[in-house]
Amino acid sequence: MSTTTTDRSKDAVARRLAESHYRIDPAIERIVRLISPEGEDAPSEPIKLLEVNTDTSMSGILPVYFGPHPDSGIFFASIIVEVRPEEFARIEGGELTLPDGWRAGEAYLKPADNHL
């Protein structure tokens, strides 16, 4: 698989990561990119995804860090925060806060062919 410069952009990698997570776990209802107050442009800033998953436990905001996996096309470190729908509603309502001043950014749609 050849990778173009565009494929290596942080936005493209975040999109691929979200799409692969949707395909791996059908219980994920929504994935939202999290944005730090400093922005996402720095190469050292990890991709942060908030995943709303009906099969996860109610455990609050617990960021999990993953290193980059260039062989898989994931050229940046990532942080995944998995919450239940009820917790996501509390985040949207301001009752539950994200760490480090993070805020919700782009939402990634579930792929139409998510039956894999």
The whole-chain average pLDDT of the chain stands at: 90
Asked if the model's pLDDT at residue 58 lies above 50, the reply is yes
Asked if the model's pLDDT at residue 20 lies above 80, the reply is yes
Cα of 1 vs its chain's centroid, Å: 24
Asked if the model's pLDDT at residue 90 lies above 90, the reply is yes
Q: What is the mean pLDDT of residues 91-116?
A: 88
The DSSP secondary structure of 69-87, one letter per residue, reads BGGGTB-S-EEEEEE-HHH
CATH 3.30.70, domain 6-108, yes or no: no
Total Cβ atoms within 10 A of residue 28: 22
pLDDT at 115: 52
With beta carbons less than 8 A apart as the criterion, state whether 67 and 84 touch: no
Q: What is the mean pLDDT of residues 65-86?
A: 95
∠ CA 96-94-55, nearest 5°, is 45
Asked if the model's pLDDT at residue 17 lies above 50, the reply is yes
